[in-house]
Amino acid sequence: MDRLPKAVFDHLPNPVILIGLKREVVEINRAARDLFDIHRTGHDLAISLRNPDILRIVDSVMAEGGVREVETTIADTPPRVIAVHAEHISEIEKIGESDGIVVVLSVTDLTAIKRTEHMRVDFVANASHELRSPLSAIIGFLETLAGPAKEDFESHARFIDIMLRESRRMTRLIDDLLSLSRVEINEHVRPTEAISIRPILESVVETLTVKAAERGMVLVLNFGENIQPLLGDAEQLEQVFHNLVDNAIKYGAENSQIAVYVSPVDRVPGRRIAGASVSVIDKGDGIPHDAIPRLTERFYRVDKARSRTLGSTGLGLAICKHIINRHRGHLEIDSTPGEGSTFTVYLPIAPTSNPNSGAEI
């Protein structure tokens, strides 16, 4: 290349291909070589790039000038959705061996945007579905009360009970949805407070002791030596541990013990910073191995029917994941079916608590 140094061309993040008068490939930058797996220049574009959508806009621009754009999919695992922009160059410049370039092809990868769009559509559909089922139940019972069961006073109390339960489920769903969106909005804002984890966990245990006792369960809290203050948002962390202990109560075995262990760690996984780990350990049915990676997905439940009777929303662990991400922490889930589960949250220490090991290297 004469004008634009090749190194600069290669460092453009978007794939770019320069095409000559005979539709030959004159130059390809590194991003385009990686995306299309084209390595040779000088021959017809159609030999290395079999995508008919792209060839069509190139031919059209070569014949009529101007600009064309097309959205197309290319084979990859998973397939990539790309927007290809072909632009005619009116001032033909001689470049290297070729007689000049006539078309500049540039590509924008839309795969991530499409995936996000897809997730949003799925989320709206799932949320509506989750809200619709309790609402349909309430409408059904109200219609029965207003019609066939009008005089059946014995059934009234039972129907009202069911309607109350379904209404509470809707309230919980809305609360969790709002919580999730609040957490997502500030996910990129790091917490700045140095907090002590002990009162947070003590408060969670105090709040949930009665609920655990209803199932004959005992909550035990253990602190290791030398737990430093952590960098965190106390209210959000209380929500994380409330959800985890609440799950242990819901899915643990009756009359079993739930242990919460806090230990110092040299490194938060994936980061070069010291921290603390908080493990919530239950004895219960455990979780099938295949389900573990999906637990933090919104609305995912291992046993849908059972979770529903427990009044769950399927959003608790999704909220935990976002809060832990905001804290630049890490969530680890270990479970043995038939024995129980351990949910471990790693959180970084507050830098001021130990200037030597706290600062990230």
Smallest CA-to-CA distance from 296 within 322, 276, 257, 269 is with: 322
Choose between 103 and 248: whose C-beta lies nearer to ligand ADP: 248
By the rule CB under 6 A, 241 interacts with ligand ADP: no
Which CB atom, from 102 or from 258, has the smaller least distance to ligand ADP? 258
Q: Does 247 bind ligand ADP (CB under 6 A)?
A: yes
- Cβ atoms < 10 Å from Cβ of 293: 10
> Residue 222 carries which side chain, given as an amino acid letter?
N
Site membership for ligand ADP, residue 251 (CB under 6 A): yes
For ligand ADP, which residue of 313, 344, 345, 349 counts as binding (CB under 6 A)?
313
Q: Is the CB of 98 or the CB of 313 nearer to ligand ADP?
A: 313
Candidate residues 20, 284, 329, 358; the one interacting with ligand ADP per rule CB under 6 A: 284
> Counting beta carbons within 10 angstroms of the beta carbon of residue 311, is it exposed (0 to 12), middle (13 to 18) or buried (19 or more)?
exposed
**Could you say which of 208, 295, 324, 347 contacts ligand ADP (CB under 6 A)?**
295
248 binds ligand ADP (CB under 6 A): yes
From the number of C-beta atoms within 10 Å of its C-beta (0-12, 13-18, 19+), residue 226 rates as exposed
Q: Does 303 bind ligand ADP (CB under 6 A)?
A: yes
Q: Which of 27, 31, 16, 39 is nearest to 86 (CA)?
A: 16
- From residue 163, alpha-carbon distances to 150, 156, 280, 361 in Å are 16, 10, 34, 56
Q: Which residue is nearest to ligand ADP (CB)?
A: 316
Residues 6+ apart with CB under 8 A from 5: none
Cβ-based neighbour number of residue 236 at 10 Å = 21
Nearer to ligand ADP, 159 or 300 (CB): 300
* Member of 106, 236, 341, 344 binding ligand ADP (CB under 6 A): 341
Stretch that binds ligand ADP, among 107-115, 196-204, 210-218, 309-317 (CB under 6 A): 309-317
Tokens at residue 80, please?
A: 């990539």
The binder of ligand ADP chosen from 15, 134, 314, 358 (CB under 6 A): 314
CB 349 within 8 A of CB 231: yes
How far apart are CB 151 and ligand ADP at their closest, in Å? 39
- The residue count of the chain comes to 361
> And the tokens for 291?
């389900």
Single out the residue of 243, 277, 279, 344 in contact with ligand ADP (rule: CB under 6 A): 243
Rounded to the nearest whole angstrom, what is the least distance from the CB of residue 251 to ligand ADP in the complex?
A: 3
Greatest Cα pair distance in the chain: 94
Between CA 38 and CA 45, with CA 40 as vertex, the angle to 5 degrees is: 65
Nearer to ligand ADP by Cβ, of 101 and 331: the residue is: 331
Interaction of residue 287 with ligand ADP, rule CB under 6 A: yes
* Residues 258, 222: Cα–Cα separation, whole Å: 11
Interatomic CA distance for residues 328 and 344, integer angstroms: 14
First to last CA, the chain: 41
Q: Which stretch binds ligand ADP (CB under 6 A): 90-98, 110-118, 206-214, 312-320?
A: 312-320
Interaction between residue 302 and ligand ADP (CB under 6 A): yes
CB of 76 to ligand ADP, least distance (A): 32
Among 36, 282, 328, 330, binds ligand ADP (CB under 6 A): 282
Binding site for ligand ADP (CB under 6 A): 243, 247-248, 251, 282, 284, 287, 295, 300-303, 307, 312-318, 341
